[in-house]
Structure 1
Amino acid sequence: MIGRAMTLGSPVGLVAREILAGLVTSIALISLDRVLRLFDRFGTEKFQRACSYGLSFATTLRGPQ
């Protein structure tokens, strides 16, 4: 999944890594799958901008530790 995310742009790949870093694996994979499905809905430019914006809040993406 990270490989697919990276093909959509480095911000998308970084978001994928953040999601997988902080959650239980099964929940993380489901979450990442849902995020990646948004690409089809919004397209490359908007999706990469949204991922870049989300990365500015990376600690929130990780959830409680």
Structure 2
Amino acid sequence: MQRTSAAGRTTLPTRTRASERRIALPTRCLQPLKHHHEQQQRERETTGTTWRPNGHVFTAPQR
């Protein structure tokens, strides 16, 4: 994620494959993430066509 004055927030690929990471989450993190995902789904249904999916876990309105 990069923020520029011209384009705002932009998601760019990593510079090298070595920069890509997968992490193991502790079991105690899974339920809060599932709850957050369910809440996002409800917000998406409420928002309708103005919802802009970006593939991120945590999203925020454009400012």
TM-score by length of 1: 0.37
**Higher-helix-fraction structure:** 1
**Higher-strand-fraction structure:** 2
